[in-house]
Structure 1
Amino acid sequence: MDMQTSPATALRIDGARLWQSLMDLARIGGTPKGGVCRIALTDLDRQGRDLFVQWAREAGCSIRVDAIGNIFARRAGADDSLAPVMTGSHIDTQPTGGKFDGNYGVMAGLEVVRTLNAAGVRTRAPIEVAVWTNEEGSRFVPVMMGSGVFAGAFTLEHALAQRDAQGVSVAEALAAIGYAGQASAAPAVGAYFEAHIEQGPVLENHERVIGVVQAALGQRWYDVTVQGMEAHAGPTPMELRQDALLAASALVAEVNR
C-alpha cells in the first residue's frame, strides 16, 4: 500500500489517554515525593503487572508469560505466522524511581495498540508489547535480567537461582507473585523498538525534543584497595606519612579528570 495514501499516516495517539495510563500505573507504589517505588517481583510489582495485563486484554491482546516472568501482550496480525514487531520496556523501578522510567515505553506500546484498534487498522505482522522482568536490578542482579535471558545473555537457570538480600531466589519470588511462566525458546522477533525517557540532561541542554540512541554506554567496574601505613600523628612529619585517604582522594580526582 502507498504510505502516502495509507490511513496509517493520519493516525495520532490519544495523548490524554496515554498520560492517564501513566498516572494510574504510578499510583501503585507512589511515593510522597511524587515518584514510584515498585521493586521487581514484590507484591507492588504484581499489582502493576496485573493492571497492565488487564489493560492489554481489554485491548484484545493475548498474554504470554515466559519462564523468567517477561510478559508479552500480542495483537494478532493479518499474517500471524510472521515474526512480531515488538516494543516495550519495564515497569519495575528503583527504590526512589520516577513515574516514567521504563513505564513510558510499556504504556506507549499499549497506546499504539489502542490507537490501531480505534482506527480499525489491522497490521500485517502481529504486534507485541513486552514487559521485561527485573530490568532495574535493584533487588536481584544481574540487571536487565528478563531481557538478558530472552536475548541469551544469561541462562534461565542462572537468573532463577539469584537471591536478594533476604535470601529469596528469583524463582521463589516469581512463584509468589504468580508470574512464573512456562519455559520456552524465545520466538523470532521481526523488529524491536523502545521508547524511553532520557535519564540525563543532553536533550534539554541542546533544546531537542527527541533523540535516537546510536550507541550504548559500556562500563567496567573495579574494586580498589588503597593501603597506607600506621604512624603516630604527632611526631611523624607530613612528608613521611603514608595516608591512605589522601592517596585515595588523589586517585578519585584523577579518575574523574
Structure 2
Amino acid sequence: MSAAQDILQSTQRHIDGDRLWTSLMDLARLGATAKGGVCRLALTDLDRQARDLFVQWAEAAGCSVSIDAVGNIFARRAGSNPQLPPVMTGSHIDTQPTGGKFDGCFGVLAGLEVLRTLNDLKIETQAPLEVVVWTNEEGSRFPPCMMGSGVYAEKFTLEETLAKTDAEGITVGQALNAIGYAGERAVSGHAVGAYFEAHIEQGPILEDQHKTIGVVLGALGQKWFDLTLRGVEAHAGPTPMHLRRDALVGASAVVAAVNRVALAHQPHACGTVGCLQAYPGSRNVIPGEVRMTLDFRHLEPARLDSMIDQVRQVIDSTCQQHGLSFELKPTADFPPLYFDKGCVDAVRDAAQGLGLSHMDIVSGAGHDAIFLAELGPAGMIFVPCEGGISHNEIENADPADLAAGCAVLLRAMLAASEAVANGQLAA
C-alpha cells in the first residue's frame, strides 16, 4: 500500500491548521483595512505584493512557477509521471473593495498547504499537482468577473481581455505590465486531469445546519435582466390616484413577484431585484420611469425558465393595469452546472473518511471552478463562514473548519491523482 493510499484510509487529518491560518493572516496584511478586512483590487501594487508572496511560498515548497499572459499563476509540484495531466486546485487573491480575509484566499492557501503537507510526509503523486492563482475573479476593478479562468477556458479572448479598462481608463494589459505579471505561458490548450476549489460558503446554510463540509453538487444557473418601466411624470397633488400612470407602483408589483416566484420554486431558487432607480426622483412628482435589475437563479433549467415566465406575466399584467410600457433586456445567461460525479464523490468520501459532518449543497455564486469544469472533471468544497457573511470586511471563518476543508482537499486531490493515473477520470 502506498503512502498516499495510507492517507486515504486514515482518519488522521494530517494538515497543519496553524500553518494554514498563519499563511492566511500573513496574506491578509496586504491591503488590511481598519475594520479587519482586506482591500486588494486586481492588478494593483497590493495585488503584486500578494502574488510575490505566493510565488515565494510556492518556490519554497519546491514548486516550479509559471505565469500566463493574463497573469494566472501556476505552481506545479512534479509527479512521478509528468505525462499525466495535472490535478489542479486554486482560487483567487484579489478582493472586493470592502472584502474579507478568506474569500478566494482560502482556496489558494489550502492548495499550498496540501503541497506542504505532501512534502512533510514525503509523498510523491503520480500525476503532477498544481495550485493556481486566477487573475481578477472578483471583477471589481476590471469587469467581467472570473476573468483569468475565463481566458484559460477560452470563454474570453486574450486580446479583448487585455483591452478591458478600469474607471481610470487603465487597461488590463497596462496593469499587468505595471506589476510585472504579464507572463509568457500560453493562456489556453492545457490539459486538466481534475480541478478542485476549496471556498468559504459565502452563505448561511452550513452554519445553520451545523455542518463542517459542504459537498458542492453544482452551481445555480443565472439569468439577469435590465427592466425599464415607463409611465408619465405628474404632480403628486392634483393628479387623482385612479388617473395616474405611476411606474414605481408597477415596479413594486414586479419586486413582489420576483420574491414570490423564488419562494415558490424551492429548493435552490433565488430571485433578486438588486438595483432600482425611480425618475425623476422628486418627492412631489409621480415617478414616470423606473429602471431595475432582475436576477434569477436555479439549479434546474426548466424551473429557472418557469420563474422568468411567471414574472414576465406579472410585468405584462401590471403594465396593462397601470398604463405603462416596458423594455426587458437580458444581460447575463449562465446555465446551471453539475460538477463531475467522480470529483463530488471524492469530496464526499473524504469528509466521511475523516468523520466530518457534511451535506450536499449547491453554489449560488460564480467561481473559477465553473469555467474549469468545461475543461475537465471538477468539484468544490465549502466550509462555513460566520453568519454566512462574505464580500464584507467582517467576513470570518473558524480555523478548525478551514483546516478540515483543507484536509478534505488533500484527500480529494490524492484520490483524483490515482484516478487520473488509472485512466478513471477524463482528461
Q: TM-score, normalised by structure 1?
A: 0.95
- With over 3 angstroms needed to count, the CA separation of the structure-2 counterparts of 1:65 and 1:4, relative to structure 1, is closer
Distance apart, 1:3 and its partner CA: 7.3
1:232 aligns with 2:223: no
Secondary structure (helix, strand or coil) at the match of 2:252 reads helix
- With over 3 angstroms needed to count, the CA separation of the structure-2 counterparts of 1:7 and 1:246, relative to structure 1, is closer
Partners in 1 of 2:127 and 2:236 — Cα distance?
74
Partners in 1 of 2:69 and 2:5 — Cα distance?
43
Matched residue type, 1:63 = V
Secondary structure (helix, strand or coil) at the match of 1:56 reads helix
Secondary structure (helix, strand or coil) at the match of 1:108 reads helix
Secondary structure (helix, strand or coil) at the match of 2:15 reads coil
Deviations 1:158-178 (A, max 9, x none): 211111111111111111110
Distance apart, 1:246 and its partner CA: 2.0
Q: 2:143·2:164 contact (CA, 8 Å) conserved in 1?
A: yes
The correspondence for 1:108, drawn from 103, 107, 110, is: 110
Distance apart, 1:233 and its partner CA: 2.9
- With over 3 angstroms needed to count, the CA separation of the structure-2 counterparts of 1:36 and 1:4, relative to structure 1, is closer
Deviations 1:175-233 (A, max 9, x none): 11100011514321111111111000111111111111112122222111121213333
The aligned counterpart of 1:195 is 198
The correspondence for 2:64, drawn from 62, 65, 69, is: 62
Partners in 2 of 1:159 and 1:13 — Cα distance?
37
Distance apart, 1:241 and its partner CA: 1.1
Partners in 2 of 1:4 and 1:241 — Cα distance?
72
The correspondence for 1:174, drawn from 160, 166, 176, is: 176
Partners in 1 of 2:84 and 2:7 — Cα distance?
22
Matched residue type, 1:68 = V
The correspondence for 1:256, drawn from 249, 254, 259, is: 259
Matched residue type, 1:216 = A
1:122 aligns with 2:124: yes
Deviations 1:81-109 (A, max 9, x none): 21111111100011111100000000000
1:88 aligns with 2:90: yes
Partners in 2 of 1:4 and 1:66 — Cα distance?
31
- With over 3 angstroms needed to count, the CA separation of the structure-2 counterparts of 1:22 and 1:228, relative to structure 1, is same
- With over 3 angstroms needed to count, the CA separation of the structure-2 counterparts of 1:3 and 1:77, relative to structure 1, is closer
Q: 1:11·1:115 contact (CA, 8 Å) conserved in 2?
A: no
1:219 aligns with 2:222: yes
Q: 1:22·1:99 contact (CA, 8 Å) conserved in 2?
A: yes
Matched residue type, 1:253 = A
> Alignment identity in percent?
68
Matched residue type, 1:53 = V
The correspondence for 2:149, drawn from 143, 147, 150, is: 147
The aligned counterpart of 2:139 is 137
Q: Which moved more, 1:180-189 or 1:104-113?
A: 180-189
The number of residues matched between the two structures is: 257
| 1:13-28 map, 5 Å | 13-28=15-30
5+ residue gaps, structure 1, are none
The aligned counterpart of 2:48 is 46
Matched residue type, 1:6 = D
Q: TM-score, normalised by structure 2?
A: 0.58
Matched residue type, 1:45 = D
Distance apart, 1:155 and its partner CA: 1.3
Matched residue type, 2:225 = Y
Partners in 2 of 1:18 and 1:3 — Cα distance?
22
5+ residue gaps, structure 2, are 261-427
Secondary structure (helix, strand or coil) at the match of 1:215 reads strand
The correspondence for 1:247, drawn from 221, 246, 250, is: 250
Matched residue type, 1:188 = A
Deviations 1:62-91 (A, max 9, x none): 100011100000111111221111111100
The aligned counterpart of 2:189 is 186
